[in-house]
Amino acid sequence: MAAAAVVLLTAMVLTACGGGAVRESGGVPVLRYQGWASQVVIPELAEDLGFFEGKVKLEWQGNTISGPQDIQSAATGQVDFGGAFGGAVAKLASAGAPITAVLNYYGADAKTFTGFYVPEDSPIRSPKDLLGKKIGVNTLGGQAEADVHDVLKKQGFSEEQIKSVQLVVLPPPNTEDAVRRGQVDVAGLTGQFQQRAIANGGLRPVFTDFDEFGPFNGGQYVFRNDFAAKNPETVEAFVDGVAKAIEWQKTTPREQVVARFTEIIEKRKRSGEDASSVKYWQSVGVPATHGVIADIDFKRWESWLRDTGAIDGPLDPSKFYTNKYNPNVPK
């Protein structure tokens, strides 16, 4: 909460100094953002597919390995939009940060989900065996933390018992190697890095969020409120393009999606990137059509938010999101 207060104070200072202005290039609004190493985020795909043509241009500011950090950067004006799991969005917004979620961009389905993996010979067999263990995750305060909390609470463990689990922050490309070397007991893996680990063999899941909780929308893109108020057409163009890119991934043959991702990574030539893991991509993992947001996308994290002290009263999701910028929402 203290960190969130600092974010909020900084955001307020930026807003007071005239935040919300958008820079243009050739008459087209430019949106600053952070990417993920060796991955293609959906806005990058939308731009490559031409869904932003003449409406929005993206400007990469570097990479992140953390959704909470990404939306904090959006709240403080370092970037124009960011994405994180719904619990982190609710936590930052509840602390007073001037952000609003505009569409879902990731989640869990039968092919794409977060799983917690151990070597095949590990004595860890079920969630109850996680107490006192080290789990490699991409960030603290992220979905992996909430998943571990919720599955252990489901098992009947107390908050003190749940706190015995040690979360170790690791870059997603390195988490598989860490569990194989014994640096952590369990690896929280998702997306192409999860599929790569499975393909390499020798690991098995302790649990997956899809098996435990079913399909769900996991996280949202957010904009600062002042930015959205001053640039509604830009935000709508962004949301529309990303929504179309989500549906494109659902309807396009997998091999074509993988080929497109590989081409995007290879032609942007960012230092240290490797497109080899893209071949393990399975699905976009967004159950909601066109990324439309609903209350449940935040309510599902309410237990974790309350138990960790992020909220102390009823959770009102309507304060955190809007679908008004999504032209694909039925009127």
* Four-residue CA torsion sign, 293, 295, 296, 297: positive
Residues of the chain with pLDDT > 70, as a percent, come to: 94
pLDDT the model gives residue 19: 59
> For 115, what's the count of Cα atoms within 13 Å in the CB-facing half-sphere?
22
Looking up tokens 């995007």, which residue turns up? 264
CB 208 within 8 A of CB 114: yes
How deeply is 310 buried, as exposed, middle or buried, from its count of CB atoms within 10 A (0-12, 13-18, 19+)? buried
pLDDT the model gives residue 20: 72
Instruction: State the helix-helix crossing angle for 67-75 and 2-16, rounded to 10 degrees.
Output: 30
pLDDT the model gives residue 305: 94
Task: Convert the pLDDT of each residue in 55-81 to its tens digit.
Answer: 999 999 999 878 899 999 999 999 999
Distance CA 331, CA 256 (A): 33
What class has domain 114-213?
Answer: alpha beta
pLDDT the model gives residue 218: 94
For the chain, which residues score pLDDT lower than 70?
1-19, 331
pLDDT the model gives residue 273: 87
Domain range annotation of the chain: 2-109+216-319, 114-213
3-state DSSP assignment of residue 290 = helix
pLDDT the model gives residue 331: 65
Quote the CATH superfamily of domain 2-109+216-319: Periplasmic binding protein-like II (3.40.190.10)
In SS3 terms, 108-124 reads as ECCCCCEEEEEECCCCC
**329: number of Cβ within 10 Å:** 17
